A and B are shown apart, each in its own frame.
Chain A
Amino acid sequence: MTGAEMVLQALRDQGVKHVFGYPGGAVLPIYDEIIQQEDIEHILVRHEQGAGHAAEGYARSTGKPGVVLVTSGPGATNMVTALTDAMLDSIPLVCITGQVPTHLIGNDAFQECDTVGITRPCTKHNWLVKRIEDLPRIMHEAFYVATSGRPGPVVVDIPKDIQFATGDYEGPSNMIAHKSYRPQIKGDIEAIRHAVAMIAAAKRPVLYTGGGVINSGPQACALLRELVEITGIPITSTLMGLGAYPASGERWLGMLGMHGTYEANMAMHECDLMINVGARFDDRITGRLDAFSPGSRKIHIDIDPSSINKTVSVDLPIIGDVGHVLEDMVRIFRASGKKLDQAAMKAWNGKIDTWRARNSLAYRPSDDFIMPQYAIQRLYEHTKDRKTFVSTEVGQHQMWAAQFYGFEAPNRWLTSGGLGTMGYGMPAAIGAQVANPDALVIDIAGDASIMMNIQEMSTATQYNLPVKIFVLNNQYMGMVRQWQQLLHGNRLSHSYTDSLPDFVKLAEAFGWHGICVDKPAALDDAIMEMLETPKPVIFDCRVANLANCFPMIPSGKAHNEMLLPDEANDEAVATAISKEGKALV
C-alpha cells in the first residue's frame, strides 16, 4: 500500500467522513487517492485558514475530530492561526500537511517550510513522518492524542516521497498503549468525597463551568444539570461553556466575566464556595486577580493538571474528565443523603435576585435604529424552536450573541474564545453545516470580521451549504472602538471600516441571497425571509453605529466593580480604566 493510500485507509478506520482542505504540489498523491474513493467527502475551501476553522466548527458541533488536509509551505503556514485557535479552545483537529520530499528537507526547496518547527507551540503534538513504516502508527496516534485527555490540534507532516513509498498498513486495533502519554480520566474518589462534603456545608455556593464540560460530551452536560437540580446551586458559565446548562434553567445566572451579567460576577465575588467545572480561570473571567472572589473556597475539576493553580490557587483540585468526576460526585452526593442549608440557600438566592434586578443587560430601545442587542433578541425568537447552531466572529457582536442568544443545548455554540480570531465564524458555520446538513446554521458576524474570511462564501456556494450570515453592521471594528473610547481619549485610530462592500450585491455575486435592513420595524419580516431562503444568505443588519457592549469589567478591575449600562456615560467610560489597567489587554 502506498503512503497516500495509507492516509486514506487510516482516515476511514478512524471513522472520518469529511475532510476540509486545499490541494498543492506536496499533497497531490493524497489528492489522487481522494478522487478515487467515495467514503470520505473532501470539502474544498478557498484559503487554508478557512479549512482549519471549518474543521473546528465541524468538531465543536459534533464532538468528533475535525480533519484538515493542506499542502506544504504556505498551506501549512496559513493553518497556523486555526491551529492556535484550536489549541486555546481545546478543539480536536487532525491536520495533515504535505512536505517536500525527504531528500529536499532543509534545502529551502520550493514551498518548503519547517512545518513541525512552526506548529510545535500551537499544537498538542506534531510529527514529521520520515519512514513509511511509521506512517500508520503516527496516523492513529494523531487521532488518539487529538481526541483524548484535554483535546487539541495535532499536525502530521508527510513528505511527498513518503506518500509514494509502499509499506504494510496496520489498523488502529493493532495499536499498543501509548508509551508516555496517558491522560488521567477518573477523578480521585477521596477528593470527590471531600468536594461533596464542602458542597453540603456551603452557604453561598456557585458553579463556574467552562468548555471542558462541552468537550467531555453530552453525558457530562446531563450530569451537570443533574448536579444543579439535586443541590440547587446557582450556575454561571464562561463563553466556551454556554449551552452545557440551559439558559432557560432555573439556576442560570448568565455568562460571567468581562461582559458577563452583574448577577453572575457578583455571585462569583461573594460566594463562599466556588466549584470550577472544566474552566481555566482565564483573565477575561477573573478580572483583577488579587480581588478575585476573596472570600471563597475553591474546587477545581480539570483534566489538565497544568490548569490547576496556574493563575488562581484552589483549595481542592480534582484531576479528571468532567463527565467521570461529575458522575462520581452526583452518585456520592445522592448516597450521602445530605442537603444544603435551605435557609442559607434562600438568603443566597434572595441576594442573587437583587443583583439580577439591576438588569445589567438593559439597553435603550429605539424605533429609528436597530439596536444590535434587539437584533439578536429577534433572531433568537425566530430560531429558538429549531435545531440551530450559532457561530460568531470576534468583537462586540460576539459578546451580544453570548448575552442575548439563549443556548439550551451543548455543541450549538461555536465561537473563538481563547484566541479571539476574527474570521472564525463563517468557515466554522460551513463546517457545522457540513456535519449537520438539515440544521439551521447562523454566523452572527460583524462588518469587520466577516471580511477576514469572506472568500469562503464560494465554498458554501459550491457545496450547497445554506449558512446564514447575520452581519451586525455598524461600520466600525466595534470592540476596538469601544476600547479606544475607554483607553485612548476617544481617538478612533483606524477602527472605522471604510469602503465596505455592498453586501447584497456581494451575496448575488457568489450566488447567495442578500438582505439589507436598517429599520427595526422591518427586522422581523427580513429575518423570516432569511430563514425561508433555502440558499445561503448574507443579512446586512445596519445597527446603531455607536452602541457599546455593557456591562463590562474594565481591565484591572474586580468582579464587583462592573461598569453597568445605565452608569456608562461618556465620563464614566473615559475614566473607567486606571493607568495600570491600560497596559492590559
Chain B
Amino acid sequence: MNAQNVNAPSAYFMAEVSEKQETHTLSVLVDNEPGVLARVIGLFSGRGYNIDSLTVSETEHEKHLSRITIVTTGTPQVIEQIRHQLERLVPVHRVTDLTVEAHAQNQDKPLERELALVKVAGLGEKRLEALRLADAFRATVIDATTEHFVFEITGRTNKVEQFISIMGPLGLIEVSRTGVAALQRGAKAL
C-alpha cells in the first residue's frame, strides 16, 4: 500500500542528511537588557543549533539597542527556523539574514570583518619573517619587545585565519579574536 516507503529509515534519522549545510550571517537587533544574550545563546544550545561566531555590543546607546551578529551553519530549513525562533524572543526587535540579503544583491556575502590580536614570540630570522608577513597582510604592530610582537589584523574571516595559520611556525603563542561584525552593502539600513 505504501511500497515506496517500506525501506526508508525512520523520519528522525532522515531529516539530518537530506539537505546540504549552508553558512549564514544573521544580524539581530535587541534591547540591551540583562539576560538578552543568555536568551539568544540558550536558544541555540537548547535547540541544537550551531554558533560559528558571535559578536555583540551596544550600537545605539540612546535607545539601548544592541546588535548581535551570529554566524551559523545549518540546512536552509534550520536557518529559517533559527530566524523565526530568534524573532519570537520578546526583547528582539528584528532579525535579518544578511547572507540572504547579499544574495539578493548578487553578492556572495555581506560585508564582514573581524579583528584579531596575534602574539608572536621569537628571535632572529623567524622574527623578521613574521614582521615581513604582517606587513604583507597589513597587520600593525601594537606592542613589542625584543622577544615578541602583538599584531592587530582586520579583515574577512578567511584572511584572519590565514594570517594566524602562517604565524603558527613563526612563534605564535596567543590569539584573541572579536568574531564577525557584518553589515549589508548599499545605502539601506536594517
Contact = CB atoms under 8 A, between A and B. Distances in A.
Interface string B71-87: 00000010011001101
B91 A180 contact: yes
Nearest to A120: B42
A304 B8 CA distance: 31
Contact of B10 (A145, A305, A306, A580): A580
Contacts, number: 83
Nearest to B77: A309
A580 B5 CA distance: 14
A556 interface: yes
Interface stretch (A68-76, A286-294, A505-513, A530-538): A286-294
A117 B9 CA distance: 38
Interface string A116-137: 1100110011001010000000
A490 B14 CA distance: 29
A490 to B, nearest CB: 23
B31 A116 contact: no
Contacts of B34: 128, 130
Given A180-B90, A306-B87, A308-B84, A289 B14 contact: yes
Interface string B1-38: 11001001111111100000000000000110011001
Interface size class of A (residues with CB under 8 A): 35 or more
Contact of B11 (A117, A128, A289, A309): A289
Nearest to A560: B2
A580 B89 CA distance: 35
Interface in B80-137: 80-81, 84-85, 87-93
Contacts of A310: 81
A223 to B, nearest CB: 26
A212 to B, nearest CB: 15
Given A556-B10, A578-B10, A584-B12, A145 B88 contact: no
B2 A558 contact: yes
Interface in B31-62: 31, 34-35, 38-39, 42, 46
Nearest to A150: B88
Given A291-B2, A306-B84, A581 B38 contact: no
B43 to A, nearest CB: 8
A290 B18 CA distance: 11
A272 interface: no
A411 to B, nearest CB: 25
Residue with the greatest number of chain B CB neighbours at <10 A, chosen from A117, A121, A130: A121
A518 interface: no
Contacts of B12: 289, 556, 580, 583-584
A408 interface: no
B39 A120 contact: yes
Nearest to B64: A179
Interface string A159-188: 000000000000000000001110000000
A226 interface: no
A124 B43 CA distance: 12
B88 A306 contact: yes
Residue with the greatest number of chain A CB neighbours at <10 A, chosen from B30, B35, B89, B90: B90
Contacts of A304: 84, 88
A583 B11 CA distance: 12
Contact of B85 (A120, A306, A558): A306
B10 A180 contact: no
Contact of B81 (A121, A289, A306, A560): A306
Interface in A253-297: 286-292, 294
Given A117-B35, A561-B2, 17 more contacts: A116-B35, A120-B38, A120-B42, A124-B90, A125-B90, A287-B11, A288-B10, A289-B15, A290-B11, A304-B84, A305-B87, A309-B81, A311-B15, A555-B10, A556-B11, A560-B1, A584-B12
30 contacts: A116-B35, A117-B38, A120-B35, A120-B38, A120-B39, A120-B42, A121-B42, A124-B90, A145-B90, A180-B93, A181-B90, A288-B5, A288-B8, A289-B11, A289-B12, A289-B14, A289-B15, A290-B14, A291-B2, A291-B11, A305-B84, A305-B88, A306-B81, A306-B88, A311-B15, A556-B10, A558-B2, A561-B2, A583-B10, A584-B10
Interface of A: 116-117, 120-121, 124-125, 128, 130, 145, 179-181, 286-292, 294, 304-306, 308-311, 313, 555-556, 558, 560-561, 578, 580-581, 583-584
* 10 nearest A-B pairs in the assembled complex, by CB-CB distance: A289-B11, A306-B84, A580-B10, A556-B10, A125-B90, A291-B5, A180-B93, A288-B11, A305-B84, A181-B90
